[in-house]
Amino acid sequence: MKKPIIAFVGLGAMGLHSARRLVQAGFEVRGFDLQPASLQALAQAGGMVCTSAAEAVQGASHAVLFVVNGKQAEQVIFGANGLVDGATLASSPLTIISCVTMSPTEAAALGARCTARNWTFLDAPVSGGMVGAEQGTLTIMAAGEREAIESCRPLFAAISRRLMVAGERAGQGAMVKAINQLLCGVHLAAAGEAMAMAQRAGLDLQAVFDVVSQSAAGSWMLSDRGPRMVQGSFDAPTSAVDIFVKDLGIVQDIARELRFPAPLSASALQSFLGSSGAGNGKKDDAAVMQYYASFQP
């Protein structure tokens, strides 16, 4: 059976790695991104470079979206030179796989608009960061028509290690991802608060990291970002501070909508906002430690 042709839009840190893995798995990947450097990297990986989402979707049965937020996803689908513009030339009813982190409300709205066109929309955000994308060890939280999810398993398998079926309605994947980001964001901010406090107390940061990361105090985020906090090295971002400004913002939007007080993630968001507001929005997200360390006596 011939592998489907994939339109792939959004070739940033995570998207590029995932697109490359699809190429390696034998999919024909037609990619688009606004950054010429990303397109060049895709070409080197064996993907076909396109000049727009409308061009990328020509002949494709599936479109994978790895853009930054819901607004960009909407533009890619419904905006000028978007998937809809190129749709008349798509080979068959399109299945859109959105790996974008957005609010459940946004995902549900995009899903409804796609359904109205007889397109299939899978709300399938991912977790695992740039390293997970590179190694194909992402976790996918997919919601949408059960059959469509099942038929996409080979595609998911090429870029991820774990597929969680979050439900049958677009928005349910986004909700699970928000819960995931609540934990990631709080754990990362907690690592910053703890390491900055250890520093203030005059402890040996490396020794503290070595012991707490291996004890009941451990978290994936602490193990991954802690070494950069020990080194004070935040200039080679794998994921930026501003990503958590966005993701914890989504968490807080949901919390308000649900009338659910979420004070920990609210506090964590403030620290990422403080970090971004101090000019560190584009730095590695481990730089949130500097926010806690910025109060000097």
Q: What residues are labeled active site? A: 177
Task: Give the interface segment with a copy of itself, choosing from 27-35, 62-70, 122-130, 230-238 (CB under 8 A).
Answer: 122-130
Q: Is position 217 an interface residue for a copy of itself (rule: CB under 8 A)? A: yes
Look up residue 129 and give its two tokens: 């960061």
**The tokens 């020990």 sit on which residue?**
230
Q: Which of 268, 273, 287, 289 binds a copy of itself (CB under 8 A)?
A: 268
SS3 assignment, position 17: helix
Q: Is position 36 an interface residue for a copy of itself (rule: CB under 8 A)? A: no
Return the number of the residue (40 or 294) whose C-beta is nearest a copy of itself.
294
Q: Is position 211 an interface residue for a copy of itself (rule: CB under 8 A)? A: yes
> Are the C-beta atoms of 10 and 29 separated by less than 8 Å?
no
Nearest to 71 by CA among 20, 13, 10: 10
Q: Is position 122 an interface residue for a copy of itself (rule: CB under 8 A)? A: no
**CB of residue 165 to a copy of itself, shortest distance in Å:** 8
**CB of residue 262 to a copy of itself, shortest distance in Å:** 6
By CB under 8 A, the residues from 230 to 259 that bind a copy of itself are 254-255, 258-259
Phi, psi at 264, each rounded to 5°:
-65, -50
259, burial (CB in 10 Å: exposed 0-12, middle 13-18, buried 19+): exposed
Alpha helices in 31-84 (DSSP H): 36-44, 53-56, 70-78
Return the number of the residue (27 or 272) whose C-beta is nearest a copy of itself.
272
**CB of residue 24 to a copy of itself, shortest distance in Å:** 23
Q: Is position 275 an interface residue for a copy of itself (rule: CB under 8 A)? A: no
CA angle centred on 237, ends 52 and 279, rounded to 5°: 95
Nearest to 272 by CA among 232, 243, 245, 233: 245
Sign of the alpha-carbon torsion through 71, 102, 67, 223: positive
- Residues near a copy of itself, by CB under 8 A: 104, 127-129, 132, 139, 141, 162, 164, 166-167, 172, 175-176, 179-184, 186-187, 189-191, 193-194, 196-198, 200-201, 203, 207-208, 210-212, 214-222, 224, 254-255, 258-265, 267-268, 270-271, 292, 295, 297
